[in-house]
Structure 1
Amino acid sequence: MALPFFGKKPTSAEPLGGAVERAHAADGVPPPTELSGLDFSATDHGRGLARAAGLVEVQEVGSGIGAAFEEAAVLYANGNDGEALALLEAMVDGEHAEVGEGVWLMLLDLYRLAGNKQGFESRVLDYATRFERSPPPWVDLSAAGGRARSGLPPLINLTGQLTAQAAKQFQQVAALGRRRGAVRLDVGRVRGVDDAGCGVWRRLLGELAADRVKVTLLNVEPLAEVLGKRLVVGKAQERDTWLMLLELLQYADDQARFENLAVDYAVTFEESPPSWECRSATAALREAPTPAPATTEPDGFCFEGELSGTSSDTLKRLAGFAADRRQVRIDCARLRRIDFVCAGTLFNILATLQAQGKLVSLVNVNAMVAALLRVMSVDQVAHVTLRQ
């Protein structure tokens, strides 16, 4: 089928890019990197956009930026991530391949969008060497990574017996905590423990504290009761069990019992006990400052997640939002994908806004989405800036 949303470009208003460049020049600030300033050239011109788009016929695009680049952009837009990745890797790995920086940024962003840190890190040195500039930093832009960043720290349920045999599992807990910066441990189902296991446990907490990893313990009271039954005042044995119980009481916010146990510990081991420090999750919430209310730029609008179809509610809201504004800034930092049809609808809306003399900018756009926007000529009716 033919998509009728590619009419002639509006000519009644000055292109947005020129106006933005003049504004930056007036302020003495260099303009941001634009999508149109990147080189997407490639030696492979034998591929066609029609093959990627299936039965969709594209009219009046005429970008002249290379069929392989266009194909990768549309493959990703259509949800064919694996094929898009294979094509981009073939482009940069091809013998005597001369591909521009735009293609490399697409590949690096596709790794980030897939949460593929290993693939990303395998390419950044080549990018830096080829273009003599720092590569974009690693950020997990995958859907799972986005949920992880916006939600609570990972929750791990500990069950069964806590013995020295748990050392390997605890190392996995430590690795997860370091990767995420915080971890929650539910110890309510631990049914047995020995002194060696308490030693492993305390080393884990010590390592995470040294690495500034936030640890939250949940349901500690049952385990504290189990440990308390093992202790004998005046019998200098199972020191790690004593110290672990003192730790648990701090997480339980039970200062009275902690102080009594600390006295017994000093008598039994003839050494000073640890100092009291409340570590409970509820206390942390009480002490946390009240966050300031989020502020929204008066001319700001956000694209998030994945936009698809001609009836996208987000695009409808954009049209209404821009109705009474001279300048519109659309933050795309949390936009992962926009499909072929939705990009066409976006072009129509932005072309209308440009014809009305409005200045529209899309900022923090990932390279895969930005590539499609160029294929669809969206960068001709709005100012498109890539994210770092």
Structure 2
Amino acid sequence: MGIFSLFGKKDSRQAKPAEKDTSRAKKQPGSSQGGATNTRPPTVKRDAKTALATAMKIDAIESEMSSEFVSITTQPPITQQKKPPPPPAPAKPHTAPAPAKPRSMPGAAQAAPLQPLAPEMGTTTDFLLDGQTAVADIASPASDAAAVIEEAAIMYANGQVDVVEQMLKSAIAEDMLGELTRTAWWMLFDLYQITGKKQEFENLSIDFASKFETSPPGWTASSRNENAPVQPAQAAKGATPMVPFSGKLDGACIKHVERALKLGENYRALRLEFAKVTEATAEGCKLVLDLFRKLQKTEHDLILVGAPELADKIRAIIEVGRRDDTEDSWLLLLEILRLLNLEKEFEETSIDYCVTFEVSPPAFVPPKSKITTASAEASAAKSAEGFPMPAVVEGRIDNLILAIAAYSDEHSPAIIDCSNLNRVDFNAAGRLLTGLAPFCGVGKTIEFHHVNHLVTALFNVIGLKDIARIVPRKN
């Protein structure tokens, strides 16, 4: 049964066309008098145009339904449910009365689109033709200019450099980007800078100065050519992951130890900071000692920040001749002196150790891997610059996310220095968003500084700007 049956669209006892014409000739407009042989309740007579319009609307409703309603009991004529209003004046654009709502029945879920209609819309057909839908709003970009910027950012993230160049040049030539005009210019400047196209950069600079009557961005000779092949090790070179230890060095530092071991699975160099450690305990010393031994076994290069200060904290909790539970503290002190290549101090401390525990003194063995140190002052200077991002971010970036999270543990806000960042792969950008969201959701503040305009547009597209602050590169 079609949906039109609910509205009493047609009746098997419908008068013949000739009888209709005769009846119309005998009646005045607006009369409610029916035929003598009609046994149905009185109803409103419609003219041909009104009836046709009503039928077309009902047909439109029926065509939108993907399946028919299940069988229902015979309904009374629509005039028994709700008496329609008299025909409107000819001057009004819509002459068909609004159909009554169908009663609740099995399969009502299929008719859900009919329920949210506003009274003045009349039918689903009116809604679809004249109304606005949320889907259309979501699918449509905010503006054509914004669509150009977003598409260029995504294509660049996927490495389509030539396409992006032509797209931005065409958009600038058409000069229909409104308030995003300068953004397109800056993106093209960054593209020429990254790809090493100095002549094109200078030509664009002349056009920029002529159009905006201001100085264009300057060329940076140190920019890396994006077209050059990038090895994973090179991409991560500028971002040595850091694990900061702070406060009391006790059992709670196990999370830092586990993070360092996890980072060590993919990074050959690690930066371990101890400058903010205020006190050492035997339990914490054992955990750090195990970490050092594992990293030395795998020959990781280490940057030890505040290692001499940590040695002093350990000396404060040990005493020659007192054993108790301090053996791991003695062994960590010896390991630090060995890593710092302080052979004389190592031998003096080893003698005190063997006297205390009545064992043979351990031999001094220089570290096989590269070990560098930095003072607390140098660490503070490094922190002021921010966490350095690599030139290209692509592939699996779990370790990069862990490194940023570790940096944010000790810095608020955590400044991520993107001065050397040229490109972020689109998939990697998505992983960066989902990876950092949990940390930003617990009160940590992360800021990406000196971001080129191509990457800035990408971060805006994926929504990274909603959880972190994005500071574009100054022009």
For the superposition of Structure 1 and Structure 2, which TM-score range results when normalised by the shorter chain? 0.3 to 0.5
Q: Whose relative contact order is higher, 1 or 2, with alpha carbons under 8 Å and at least 6 apart? A: 1
Looking at CA atoms only, which structure, 1 or 2, has the larger radius of gyration? 2
Larger % of strand: which? Answer: 1
Under a length normalisation based on structure 1, what TM-score does the superposition of the two structures give? Answer: 0.43
Under a length normalisation based on structure 2, what TM-score does the superposition of the two structures give? Answer: 0.35
